[in-house]
Structure 1
Amino acid sequence: MGSSAALSPALADRLVAVVGAGVAGLVCASRLADHGFQVTVFDMGRGPGGRMSQRREKAPDGGFFYFDHGAQYFTVKDPMVQCLVDKWESAGAVAEWSGKFGTYDMMTKQFIEDMEVSKKRYVGVPGMNAICQTLSEHPGVAAKFNTIVAKMDWVEERKVWTLTSKDGMQLGEFWAVVATDKIMASPRAFLKTGLPRPLDVAVPYLAEKVSAVTSSPSFACMLVFSQSLTTIPLDGFNIVGSKVLAWASCDSSKPKRDKLMSSGECWVLHSTAEYALEVIKDAGMEKPSDELLSAVARCLFEEFKKIGGILEPMFAKAHRWGSAFPDVSIAKEEGCLLDEFKRIAVCGDFCVGPRVECAILSGISAAEKVQDLTYLDSKY
């Protein structure tokens, strides 16, 4: 466990690179920055978020529709995570989603409300990505987006890492690296860069563990209705008895969404892994075509419509979530993977579990272990 006391100002010279701007990477980055490290976060996306991203789509009136198309909400059990969430809530980045939740049974056509009042469901405000956006602007953290880290080289003589982007740009030298994106050990890395998988070259034994992680896919369908769906008594619900749909929620019912949205009621549907695997089996993992996504959106909506009393949407669009839920946890007890001699950690939901809280815990663990490396360094 790392010390909570601030470290020497000399640590400002110990630059740390975090690859991946999801919640695990950004929690790690912000905690390291709090202890005097200078941290640079790299992400291939246009902004932070990972599974906690938010999608913006143009509305007919010139405004925008916003959707939390990935993680819908998160719950907290760990006191350390609760302390963090309380701080985010005080800063206005998080709020409780105090709607009605439960399940819908496709066979019996019945809604069953979850009456467990003690269970708090948290969301980012005004969008799920607000948490990661806030963390990416944390003092001591510099976030660089639209950047694919294609190569990581450990320079043994100077005990530093050098990082190179997909287009050959030198991204800098770093005292330590934290990798949070399992694509760095995936065959998809070669498809994106044409180079060997970064973790394979840098730390092959860690890469082997990360590459063994399999994930269940999902498709998200974003819908907008001109009128509220008054026949549905719940704001978010799991769906049982369907081979196509697993979840449906009214995004507009989340706190502060009314100040963000254009006119219309926004809903998000998530497919079952079974359905997503069938589609991917036929279409492959290449970027899905507009035609395929349109067909998926139609299929998910038609299944949703079976609930009854649901009119045609004014907007419908699908998104493939290729690695929605990791099937295994490769560092459940440790919280993250670590090579202390090369000063590289690997963290993420695939280390601890497929929940937002698990990703946060993994990020905390990685920050503590990198922080502890300063004490290891002082022994040599």
Structure 2
Amino acid sequence: MNRHGYQRCPKVSGAVCASTLARNGVSVTIFDSARGPGGRMSQRREIIEDGKELLFDHGAPYFTATNADVLGLVRDWEARGLVAEWKENFGSFDFASQKFVNIEKEGLSKKYVGVPGMNSICSALCKEPGVESKFGEGVGRLEWLEDEDSWLLTGLDGQYLGHFKGVVASDKNIVSPRFTNVTGRSTPLDLSLAPELAMRMKEIPVTSCFALMLAFEEPLSLIPAKGVSFNNSEVLRWAFCNSSKPERSTFSEHWVLHSTDEYAKSVIAQMGLQKPSNAALTKVANELFQEFQNTGLNISKPFFMKAHRWGSAFPASSIAREEKCLWDGKKRLAICGDFCVSPNVEGAILSGMAAASKHIPQNNLVKTNSSPSWFG
């Protein structure tokens, strides 16, 4: 039995938690059905016909930090070359007046991005000493063995994954009916094993979103900002120029658009929760791009265009704001994520830090200037 193994999903909350545990002498094994780390901080890689590679941060475009512990951690990441400040103009476009408003140089707060991609942070944390990462290997069931005082984990196909002294989960769908609706499988965690935690997580309201990835031969010169929020649009919420971030490719200009929650919900209501077809995503792509063109900013035709669905993009409520994570001390089960603190990257980091602290004996906790913290 791995006496100090902990399982979790490597979204940023989970990656921060794993790194913190490992640095405090607790060995960690990560399981995730995805091909790599990141969650909504992942990076999309597309190869076009001429063999060129296009990279898009199609989830969270950046993050901010105000908490002292998070800022300390960000400084450490900067020193390691994992993040950089994104210094560009940001503003809003009003569809009613067809004008830009509130153009700000660099905005009101520092905006940080992973380099060379948003997933760089999670990728580095999941490779630190003491962390073993197993991608493409999801957890299908978590079973508490009372007589052994440990957790038994099995995979999506029933394969044995191991025994663990504790578990940290960073996926809100671990007990959600949404998991069953999408996959047709039972939820990984039986509600009866942690009834109090399960009830708090069972119905977390979420907002949905479609992302549109675009690549242009020439810069969109009439747009005076690299990050744009939209007012008075039922379709678009915001857009940002991905290629303007530090250490990104500059052979073409890349933009990512995000839809409004209202638009996404209406589309999902029609197509259902199952994986959308290529035809459905093409229709979404055309509608989002048409709205982008409706700005009247002479948006040229892109040479690449592809849509992606984030079915439960952001939590609409916080279920553990004071505690920052959910915790069952008897079974050593922690649940963390942005849905515990606040729906952003910083909230996820803080939740991951809190979950790690539950598994570390206080006399073993390492105190540093860059206390583990942080996503969204």
Is the structural similarity TM-score above 0.5?
Answer: yes
The CA deviation at 1:195 is 3.2
Aligned positions of 1:327-366 closer than 5 A:
327-366=316-355
Alignment equivalent of 2:224, drawn from 207, 216, 233: 233
- 1:77 maps to 2:56: no
Aligned to 1:274: 262
More helix by share: 1
> Retained in 2: the 8 A contact 1:18–1:180?
no
- Give the one of 234, 240, 247 matched to 1:249: 240
1:174 paired with 2:167, answer no
Check the 8 A contact 1:17/1:42 in 2, yes or no.
no
Q: Deviations over 1:103-143 (max 9, x none)?
A: 11111122120257551000001110001001111110011
Residue of 133, 138, 146 corresponding to 2:123:
133
The alpha-carbon deviation at position 237 of structure 1 amounts to 1.1
Quick one: which of 276, 285, 295 aligns to 2:283? 295
Identical counterparts, % of pairs: 48
Change (3 A) 1:91 1:286: same
In structure 2, the CA distance between the partners of 1:188 and 1:197, relative to structure 1 (3 Å rule), is: farther
Corresponding residue for residue 7 of structure 1: none
Alpha-carbon distance between aligned partners in 2 of 1:37 and 1:334, rounded to the nearest angstrom: 22
Tell me by how many angstroms 1:192 deviates: 2.8
The answer for unaligned runs of 5 or more in structure 1 is: 1-11, 376-380
d(CA) in 1 for partners of 2:316, 2:152: 32
Instruction: Give the 3 Å change call, closer, same or farther, for CA 221–116 of structure 1 in structure 2.
Output: closer
RMSD of aligned alpha carbons:
1.7
Counterpart amino acid of residue 306 in structure 2: K
My pick for the range that moved more, 119-128 or 208-217, is 208-217
SS of the equivalent of 1:312 reads coil
Alpha-carbon distance between aligned partners in 2 of 1:201 and 1:27, rounded to the nearest angstrom: 28
Change (3 A) 1:116 1:250: closer
What's the CA shift for 1:15? 2.1
Partner of 1:316: 305
**Among 77, 81, 90, the residue aligned to 1:101:** 90
Structure 2 segments unaligned to the other structure (5+ residues): 365-376
Superposed counterparts of 1:194-205, under 5 Å: 194-205=185-196
> 1:199, 1:206 within 8 Å by CA — same for their partners in 2?
no
| Matched-pair contact (CA < 8 Å) for 2:139–2:188 | no
User: What is the distance in 1 between the residues matched to 2:187 and 2:58?
Assistant: 31
Structure 2-normalised TM-score?
0.92
Aligned in 2, Cα 1:32/1:225: closer, same or farther, shift over 3 Å?
Answer: same
Deviations 1:215-274 (A, max 9, x none): 00000000011111001110011111100000011100000002xx6x321100000000
- Partners of 1:343 and 1:373 within 8 A in 2: no
CA contact (8 A) 1:337 1:345 kept: yes
Pair 1:341–1:236, CA change in 2 (3 A): same
Aligned residue-pair number: 361
